[in-house]
Structure 1
Amino acid sequence: MTEHLRERVVAYADLLTDDIGQIQQLLAQVRELAESQEPARVHMLAERLTAVHLDTDWVLVPRQYSPADWYMLAMDRFMSFAGIPAYDILTPAEREELTLVPTELEVPATFEFVVNDDPNGGAFFVELGTNERLFYWSLERKQILFNADAITNLLVENYRKKTTAPRIRTVTTLLTEFGRYMEREFGYKVDYNILETKDDFLYPLVQTEMPAGMLDRLFVLSADSNYFLQNIPNGAGLVLEQGVEVRIFYANDATAIGAQRWHFQVIDGHDAVSWLDILLDYDFIGAWYLKERHYLAVESDELVFGLQGNRALKNYGASAPVKSEAPQVEVLQPNTTDEEPEA
Structure 2
Amino acid sequence: MSDESLNPSSLTTNGRLVAYSQSVKAGLQHGIEFTKLFDQLTNTTDPNELLAASTSLFDFQMDTEYVVYPHKYDANDYYLIFMSRLLELHDDKEAVLHSREDNLKADTLFQTFPNIDDTEEFHFEQRPNQDGAFYVEQNSHQVIFSLNLKEKTMYFNSDTITKLFITEWSGKSDNAAVSDAVDLFIEFGKYLVSDFGFNVDFNMLDAANDKKYVLAKADLSDQIMDKLFVVTADNQLMLQNMDEVQGAFLDLGNQIIFSLYKQNGADGSAHWVMTVQDPKEQYSLFDIFNQFAFLKKWFLDNLDDLQIGSKMV
TM-score by length of 2: 0.88
What residue in structure 2 maps to residue 237 of structure 1?
A: 249
State which of 91, 94, 102 in structure 2 corresponds to 1:83: 91
The residue type equivalent to 2:95 in the other structure is Y
As a proportion of its length, which structure holds more helix?
A: 2
Does 1:44 pair with 2:56?
no
**Contact kept? 1:208, 1:296, Cα under 8 Å:** no
What is the aligned length? 297
Instruction: Quote the offset at 1:296 in angstroms.
Output: 3.1
Q: Which of these residues, 101, 110, 115, is aligned with residue 104 of structure 1?
A: 115
1:16 Cα deviation after fit: 1.8
1:299 to 299, 306, 309: 309
User: 1:156: which partner in 2?
Assistant: 166
Q: Find the counterpart in structure 2 of residue 336 from structure 1.
A: none
Aligned equivalent of 2:259, options 247, 255, 270: 247
- Does residue 206 of the first structure (1) align with residue 216 of the second (2)? yes
Per the TM alignment, residue 85 of structure 1 is displaced from its structure 2 partner at its CA by 3.1
Q: 1:204 to 1:210 in 2, by over 3 A?
A: closer
1:195 positional shift: 0.8
Deviation by residue 1:3-39 (Cα, 9 ceiling, x = unmatched): 9554343333222211111111111110111111111
Matching residue within 89, 92, 101 for 2:100: 92
Partners of 2:119 and 2:293 in 1: CA distance: 22
Identity between Structure 1 and Structure 2 (%)? 25
| Contact 2:96-2:111 within 8 A present in 1 as well | yes
Q: Which residue number corresponds to residue 15 of structure 1? A: 23
Contact (CA 8 Å) 1:146, 1:192: kept in 2 or not? yes
1:116 aligned to which of 122, 127, 133: 127
Q: Distance in 2 between matches of 1:291 and 1:224?
A: 16
| Counterpart AA for 1:232 | M
Q: How is 1:120-131 mapped onto 2 (pairs within 5 angstroms)?
A: 120-131=130-141
Deviation at 1:240, TM superposition (A): 2.0
- For 1:277, the equivalent position in structure 2 comes to 287
Q: Single out whichever of 53-62 and 68-77 deviates more from structure 2.
A: 53-62
Does residue 182 (structure 1) correspond to residue 176 (structure 2)? The answer is no
**C-alpha contact (below 8 Å) 2:101/2:108 kept by paired residues:** no
Partners in 1 of 2:253 and 2:84 — Cα distance? 35
1:215 to 218, 225, 234: 225
Distance in 1 between residues matched to 2:307 and 2:196, nearest whole Å = 30
Q: Could you tell me whether the CA contact under 8 Å between 1:106 and 1:167 is conserved in 2?
A: no
Residue 142 of structure 1 and its aligned partner are, at CA, apart by 0.6
Contact 1:195–1:275, Cα closer than 8 Å, also in 2: yes
Deviations 1:273-330 (A, max 9, x none): 10011111112111111232312332211xxx33xxxxxxxxxxxxxxxxxxxxxxxx
Query: Conserved in 2, the CA contact under 8 Å of 1:90 and 1:99?
Result: yes
Whether the aligned pair in 2 keeps the contact of 1:101 and 1:109 (CA below 8 Å) is: yes
Mapped contact 1:195–1:274 kept (Cα < 8 A): yes
RMSD (Å) for aligned C-alpha atoms: 2.0
- CA offsets, 1:88-112, max 9 Å, x none? 0110123422111111324631111
Instruction: Tell me the distance in 2 between the aligned counterparts of 1:252 and 1:49.
Output: 46
Q: For 2:207, give the aligned amino acid.
A: T
In the other structure, the counterpart of 2:4 is none
| 1:91–1:107 CA distance, 2 compared to 1 (3 A) | closer
User: Partners in 2 of 1:28 and 1:252 — Cα distance?
Assistant: 54
Counterpart residue identity of residue 35, structure 2: L
Listed as ranges, the matches of 1:59-74 within 5 Å are: 59-74=67-82
Does the C-alpha gap of structure 1 residues 108 and 218 become closer, same or farther in structure 2, counting only changes over 3 Å? farther
Once the 2 structures are TM-superposed, how far is the Cα of residue 169 of structure 1 from its aligned partner?
0.7
Q: How far, CA to CA, are the matches of 2:298 and 2:65 in structure 1?
A: 59
Q: Which moved more, 1:193-202 or 1:226-235?
A: 226-235
How far the C-alpha of 1:139 sits from its partner, in A, is 0.9
The alpha-carbon distance between structure 1 residues 10 and 261, as it changes in their structure 2 partners (threshold 3 A), is closer
Tell me, in whole angstroms, the C-alpha distance in 1 between the residues paired with 2:162 and 2:187: 18
Contact persistence 1:239–1:245 (CA under 8 A) = yes
Q: In terms of mean alpha carbon deviation, does 243-252 or 4-13 score higher? A: 4-13
Whether the 8 Å contact between 2:158 and 2:308 is mirrored in structure 1 is: yes
Tell me the TM-score normalized by structure 1.
Answer: 0.81
Most deviating of 219-228 and 27-36: 219-228
Residue matched to 1:173 = 183
2:307 alignment partner AA: A
CA distance in 2, matches of 1:251, 1:7: 74
